């Protein structure tokens, strides 16, 4: 996996921002919220489009991957269709359309099948949000950057949803610096990965259960691919409450001057909760595409 991550770094280097590590007290923040599409998803989407060179693409997404794929498709001059579930924040849907993609809104349980139907019916290449080696490799480039910018890092905290981000970062970091602890972070209300890793096999939570969390970008489930990588490389899982997520959003805004959506704040929330191991720590701020009304409510 490391070789593919290194190839991805070479491939996408000119196209994505090499995000900084922002110091906030004793914590370093990998500010993926500063990417042009507002999240880390630009890495995996760009890597897949550049490697596969498809005539057109389609995906299902909670919002951020859809924006990233729409952007990558626009840069490549190809067609893009994004299928999102009902309830996706309007700020994310508007951004998807702004990057030139066609948007389809479907019931929560239909997003995978709807994307597959579009792919088959219109001869488009399906680029899933996380269940693809090229997507995972693109996200793993974050791990390479963390090690280069902070070689003596001791702990890396990463949000977990479908597992593409955490599995890619963990594979990169553990391959190059096995002594660094890499921990995944989930909301308590969508902690299916924590439960799955505890019992050693995938445990499925239904949509109603996972959709309770404010962290709309962390409502997906790992695939067989990403779960295998998480099981092999991740050192453990931490969970955070909804109140802790909100507190972390406020902390990031006031102390680091970073706008983070709820999903992007969970790693920081784990650090602030005191449940993460101490040491020189990087928390990945995975995205900043927050609904303005929600952000105002959280900061009030």
Can you tell me the mean pLDDT for 213-242? Answer: 96
- The pLDDT > 90 percentage for the chain reads 94
3-state secondary structure of 105: strand
Distance of CA 198 to the CA centre of its chain: 22
Domain boundaries, the chain: 2-39+132-299, 42-126
Q: For Cα atoms 264, 155, 243, give the angle at the middle one, nearest 5 degrees.
A: 40
Burial track 89-127 (b if 16+ CB lie within 10 A, e otherwise): bebbbebbeebebebbebebeebeebbeebbeeeebbbb
One fold for 2-39+132-299 and 42-126: yes
For the domain spanning 42-126, the CATH number is: 3.40.50.1100
Non-local (6+) Cβ contacts of 23 within 8 A are: 29
Task: Say which DSSP state 256 is in.
Answer: S
Say if CB 159 and CB 166 are below 8 A apart: yes
Question: What's the CATH number of domain 2-39+132-299, 3.40.50.920, 3.50.50.60, 3.30.470.20, 3.40.50.1100?
Answer: 3.40.50.1100
- Give me the active site residues, please: 41, 62
Query: pLDDT tens, 243-286?
Result: 999 999 999 999 999 999 999 999 999 999 999 999 999 999 99
| Pair of tokens at residue 18 | 């090499």
Distance of alpha carbon 230 from alpha carbon 220, whole angstroms: 15
- Element containing residue 300 per DSSP (H, E): none
Q: How far is CA 222 from CA 70, 112, 123, in A?
A: 23, 14, 26
47-106 per-position pLDDT tens digit: 999 999 999 999 999 889 999 999 999 999 999 999 999 988 888 899 999 999 999 999
């Amino acid at each position: 996996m490391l070789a593919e991550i290194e190839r991805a770094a070479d491939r996408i280097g000119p196209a994505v921002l090499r995000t900084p590590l922002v110091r906030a007290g004793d914590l370093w923040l990998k500010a993926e919220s500063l990417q042009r599409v507002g999240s880390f998803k630009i890495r995996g989407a760009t890597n897949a489009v550049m490697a596969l060179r498809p005539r057109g693409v389609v995906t299902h997404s909670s919002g951020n991957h859809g924006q990233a794929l729409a952007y990558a498709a626009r840069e490549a001059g190809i067609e893009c269709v994004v299928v999102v579930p009902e309830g996706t924040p309007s700020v994310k849907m508007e951004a998807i359309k702004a990057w030139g993609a066609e948007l389809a809104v479907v019931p929560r349980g239909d997003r995978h099948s709807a994307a597959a139907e579009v792919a088959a019916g219109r001869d488009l290449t399906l680029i899933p949000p996380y269940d693809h080696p090229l997507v995972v490799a693109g996200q793993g480039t974050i791990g390479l950057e963390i090690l280069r910018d902070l070689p003596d890092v001791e702990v890396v905290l990463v949000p977990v949803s479908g597992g593409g981000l955490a599995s890619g970062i963990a594979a990169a970091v553990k391959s190059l610096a096995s002594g660094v602890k890499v921990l995944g972070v989930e909301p308590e209300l969508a902690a299916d990965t924590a439960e799955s890793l505890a019992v050693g096999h995938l445990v499925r939570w239904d949509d109603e259960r996972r959709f309770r969390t404010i962290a709309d970008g962390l409502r997906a489930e790992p695939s067989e691919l990403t779960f295998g990588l998480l099981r092999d490389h991740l050192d453990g899982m931490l969970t955070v409450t909804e109140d802790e997520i909100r507190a972390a959003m406020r902390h990031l805004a006031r102390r680091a001057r970073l706008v983070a959506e709820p999903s992007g704040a969970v790693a920081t929330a784990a650090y602030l909760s005191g449940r993460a191991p101490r040491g020189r720590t990087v928390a990945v701020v995975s995205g900043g595409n927050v609904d303005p009304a929600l952000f105002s409510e959280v900061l009030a």
